Amino acid sequence: KDVEQFRSCLKSIQDLSPDARVFCLIHKMDLIKNETDRMKLLERKRKELTEIAGNRQLTVFRTSIWDETLYKAWSEIVFQL
């Protein structure tokens, strides 16, 4: 279901604001205890989202409410806007 909604959002962005930047936050990464496993999952999700997005550039962040990653992601997003 998330993938279908992501596709729908990308279509709307393409139709209504083709120059918009797209940021994806992969939440709850703290649930994966092993850092290596976390990085593997992040890369797998990044690849999946990139394939769905086609030519559109994505910026993907891993986030958690339990550390600074969410704050860093939002800071980077605001900075890029």
pLDDT digits (tens, 9 = 90+) for 6-46: 999 999 999 999 999 999 999 999 999 999 999 999 999 99
How wide is the angle at C-alpha 16 spanned by C-alphas 47 and 20, nearest 5°? Answer: 50
Chain-centroid distance of CA 37 in Å reads 17
pTM: 0.84
Tokens of residue 65, six digits = 């409410």
* 56 — pLDDT class (breaks 50, 70, 90): very high
81 has a pLDDT exceeding 90: no
* 78 — pLDDT class (breaks 50, 70, 90): very high
DSSP SS3 for 26: strand
d(Cα 58, Cα 60) in Å, to the nearest integer?
6
